[in-house]
Structure 1
Amino acid sequence: MKLEQISTHIWSLKTWFLFPMRVWLVKDEEGITLVDAGMPFMARSIHRAIDQLNAGSLQRILLTHGHSDHVGSVHKLHSAYNVPIYAHEIEVPYMEGQLTYPRRRKIEKNIREGLAAALPTTENGHLQSFAGLQPYLTPGHSPGHTVYMHEKDGVLLAGDLFTSKRGRLKRPMSAFTANMKEAIESGSIITQLQPKHLEVCHGAPVLNPASQWEGYLAENMKDYK
């Protein structure tokens, strides 16, 4: 697996499993926050990467959503570090197997019940930030899909909100997306946040993604008019 620094506070850890897969390590004064947990075989590499950064221990795991390729190493990492794990409250019952993901035939029990907590909210109802990362709900790929914006670094960790090809925004994988129209509409978050750098799990980084929004929307919403 390849560890690459993408900004002052963020590293990408990349591997291939039929297609590219990424998780992210974010440092702050407390230590390391992991965003997404990949497949089970990635646990050892994530552990090595945390040690390699020499920036403190793992403090928490933030999940963009609960599909198996994003939570696969959660149980091993929790056993090793005993840290809190967070996902959006809408997502938790799907990944725990209490509800069936839309467009899936079977319930997926991808994470042990009670292991993940709902992302906490502030007094005004906004999702609480962690380690400089502000969460935003972006449903569509999954009911509780969430992205994390590192405002200081200008980096958006977008999970499966998009894929990418040669630096261009592409829509998420159709076979695994619950509601494609909603997922495309959720992509408008990039016009609000204006990230300098967009990271997706399955694909390469996209620079200044908001500049591509109008073209992306026109190309992908034509089937829904």
Structure 2
Amino acid sequence: MKMSRISEHIWSLKSWVFIPIHVWLVVEEDGVTLVDAGIPQMAKGILKAVDQIGAGPLKRIVLTHGHSDHVGAVKRILASTPVPVYVHTIEIPFMEGDLAYPRRKKAAVSLEKEIVEPLPADETGQLLPIGGLQPYFTPGHSPGHVIYWHERDRVVLGGDLFTSKKGKLRRPMPMFTADMAEAVESSKVLFRLKPVHLEICHGNPVHNPADQLEEYLRQTL
């Protein structure tokens, strides 16, 4: 697994199984937040990387969504390092197997019940900051997909909101995207945030992605 520092507070961990799979470590005041958990084989490398950066213990795991390639290492990590695991409340019945993900024939369990809990939100449902990250609801790839904005570093950890090619924004993978039109609409959050750096699970980073967004939206019409 390849480890690289992408900003003052954020490290990227990359594995490869047919396609790249990225997860991220975010240095917080109280320790480290893991964003997404990749596949089961990444668990040992993730825990080793937490130790290597020397910023304190793993304090929490936050998920962009519940697909198996984003939650695979959760149980192995929790076996040695019990921490809370958060995901958008809308995503929970799909990942726990109570509902089938859109466009899938059958429900499937990616994490058993009582492992995850909803991301904190106010009485209106507005997502609240968690550690140094602000979640934004970006449905489409999955019903409860979110991205995480690190305002201080001006970095978006984008999960599967996009893929990329040669530094250019590309659509999320159609085969695994529940509602492409909704995913494209969710991408407009970049106009608001204007990050200097966008991290993507299955692709290379994109710099100043908001500058590409109008062209991206035209290409996806």
- Normalising by the smaller structure, the TM-score range is over 0.9
1:138 aligns with 2:138: yes
Structure 1 CA distance for aligned equivalents of residues 107 and 4 of structure 2: 35
Structure 1 CA distance for aligned equivalents of residues 219 and 181 of structure 2: 12
Shift of 1:138: 0.2
Aligned residue for 2:58? 58
Structure 2 CA distance for aligned equivalents of residues 81 and 30 of structure 1: 15
Shift of 1:34: 0.1
| 1:13-33: CA deviation from partner (whole Å, max 9, x where unpaired) | 001110011000000110000
Aligned residue for 2:100? 100
- What are the ranges of 5 or more consecutive residues in structure 2 without an aligned counterpart? none
Shift of 1:51: 0.8
The residue matched to 1:90 in structure 2 has which SS? helix
The residue matched to 1:33 in structure 2 has which SS? strand
Shift of 1:124: 5.6
Q: CA RMSD in A?
A: 0.8
Counterparts of residues 74-223 of structure 1 (less than 5 Å): 74-122=74-122, 125-221=125-221
Shift of 1:78: 1.2
Taking structure 1 as reference, are residues 9 and 97 closer, same or farther at Cα in structure 2, changes over 3 Å only?
same
Taking structure 1 as reference, are residues 125 and 105 closer, same or farther at Cα in structure 2, changes over 3 Å only?
closer
Structure 2 CA distance for aligned equivalents of residues 49 and 160 of structure 1: 23
Query: Quick one: which amino acid aligns to residue 153 of structure 1?
Result: D
Structure 1 CA distance for aligned equivalents of residues 123 and 3 of structure 2: 37
Shift of 1:122: 3.0
Does the 8 A contact of 2:147 with 2:159 survive in 1?
Answer: yes
Aligned residue for 2:35? 35
Identity value in percent: 56
Q: TM-score, normalised by structure 1?
A: 0.97
Structure 2 CA distance for aligned equivalents of residues 77 and 106 of structure 1: 27
Structure 1 CA distance for aligned equivalents of residues 162 and 48 of structure 2: 28
Query: Quick one: which amino acid aligns to residue 116 of structure 1?
Result: V
Structure 2 CA distance for aligned equivalents of residues 84 and 183 of structure 1: 27
Structure 1 CA distance for aligned equivalents of residues 206 and 66 of structure 2: 24
Structure 2 CA distance for aligned equivalents of residues 84 and 102 of structure 1: 27
Structure 2 CA distance for aligned equivalents of residues 105 and 125 of structure 1: 30
| 1:104-162: CA deviation from partner (whole Å, max 9, x where unpaired) | 11212000101100001135642121221000000000000000000000000000000
Alignment: residue pair count: 221
- What are the ranges of 5 or more consecutive residues in structure 1 without an aligned counterpart? none
Structure 2 CA distance for aligned equivalents of residues 123 and 68 of structure 1: 30
Query: Quick one: which amino acid aligns to residue 115 of structure 1?
Result: I
The residue matched to 1:91 in structure 2 has which SS? helix
Does the 8 A contact of 1:27 with 1:131 survive in 2?
Answer: no
Aligned residue for 2:46? 46
Q: TM-score, normalised by structure 2?
A: 0.98
